[in-house]
Amino acid sequence: MQFPAASRPRWFPLLRAHVRANRASALCLGVGLAVIVALLLQGLLRLATGAPVPGLRLALLGGTAGCTATALGALPALGLRRLPQRVEDSLLGCAAGMMLAAGTFSLLLPGLDAAADILGSKALGAGAVVVGMALGVVLMLGLDAFTPHEHASVGTRGPAPERIRRIWLFVFAIALHNLPEGMAVGASFARADLAVGLPVTVAIALQDIPEGLAVALALRGAGFTPRLSVLVAAASGLLEPVGALLGVALSSGLALAYPLGMGLAAGAMLFVVSHEVIPETHRRGHQTPATLGLMAGFALMMVLDTTLV
């Protein structure tokens, strides 16, 4: 619905109406943000007291690697208007497989081990990581409902998307992908353990290459110029170092914050894969090549996870 310029309602009434229509999602967002703020405060308190955060530099480097990979992946869109749809779906499927493997082998498994050591029980440790995963899913559900954005498969989402320029709807959609990826990198480096952080960083950076290209081509297909499409796709990667700093801060305070942060990052990333990436690869009838790409990406990441360090 388009509002006449003179009678367009202000943002607050629109947001209030959106909250009333999406009470469950609003609750999810509130809970997720409250937990993140609490974890951030205890991480910042650790910094304020002079306690070292050994993974901070590594997390920033890892997030920068993902940002750079996104920009490199977007560059071919300067001269390339589109890829065969089967190829694009296969590449995105491969990216999804790598994210699934990274979330499993490099986030959940180390988080389970850490939580079991801290709590002295595998069952309690698993429960702590599951709580972290649930928080990640709750956060992404809330952000998905309350961030105005556009996906090719489901259209526009969020409060009053008709009042925002279409290019910003694409930008916000990309941000919802890149923020949890950056958080995963940051959380994996919270203990400065290369055996955990390096596979996650490699997986995120590798899958960012086809993702950056797909985003740039989608922008071109929506009618934006080649330069603007590449610039927006590359700039979206800036959310990854930001997410990495957020992830390392979330996971660097109390001992239990580490497995909780790992579970949260994994839950957010798995949500993005299942909720957006896989449906996008399946909506044009190329389910088989997309699934084969997912399996190949998962296998590649599994091998890298066991051989990198």
Look at the chain and report how many structural domains it folds into. 1
- Residue 256 φ/ψ, nearest 5 degrees: -70, -15
In a domain, 5, yes or no: no
**CB 239, CB 175: distance < 8 Å:** yes
* Structure confidence by residue, pLDDT tens digits, 57-72: 888 899 999 999 999 9
219-224 long-range contacts, CB within 8 A, separation 24+? 219/77, 219/167, 219/170, 220/77, 220/81, 220/82, 221/81, 221/82, 222/166, 222/170, 224/167
Tokens 């560059």 sit on residue: 75
The residue segments making up the domain with residue 242 are 23-308
Cα gap 106→102, rounded to integer Å: 5
**CB 208, CB 236: distance < 8 Å:** no
In a domain, 14, yes or no: no
In a domain, 85, yes or no: yes
In a domain, 17, yes or no: no
In a domain, 145, yes or no: yes
Cα gap 256→260, rounded to integer Å: 6
Q: Is pLDDT of 189 > 50?
A: yes
Cα gap 168→165, rounded to integer Å: 6
Residue 97's pLDDT is 92
In a domain, 223, yes or no: yes
Q: Is pLDDT of 277 > 70?
A: yes
Nearest to 96 by CA among 265, 210, 183, 240: 210
Average pLDDT over residues 276-296: 89
In a domain, 10, yes or no: no
How far, in Å, are 101, 112, 115, 207 from residue 118 at the CA level?
25, 10, 5, 33
Residue 127's pLDDT is 95
Residue 283's pLDDT is 82
Nearest to 22 by CA among 130, 148, 150: 148
Range of 40-44, 133-137, 142-146, 282-286 with top mean pLDDT: 133-137
Cα gap 146→29, rounded to integer Å: 8
Cα gap 126→83, rounded to integer Å: 42
Tokens 């990640």 sit on residue: 136
**CB 168, CB 232: distance < 8 Å:** no
* Structure confidence by residue, pLDDT tens digits, 217-257: 888 887 888 998 899 888 888 889 988 888 887 777 677 88
Q: Is pLDDT of 36 > 90?
A: no
Cα gap 164→148, rounded to integer Å: 8
Cα gap 283→279, rounded to integer Å: 6
Task: Please provide the average confidence, as pLDDT, over all residues in the chain.
Answer: 80
Rg (CA), the chain: 19
In a domain, 176, yes or no: yes
Q: Is pLDDT of 112 > 70?
A: yes
* Structure confidence by residue, pLDDT tens digits, 77-97: 998 888 888 988 898 899 889
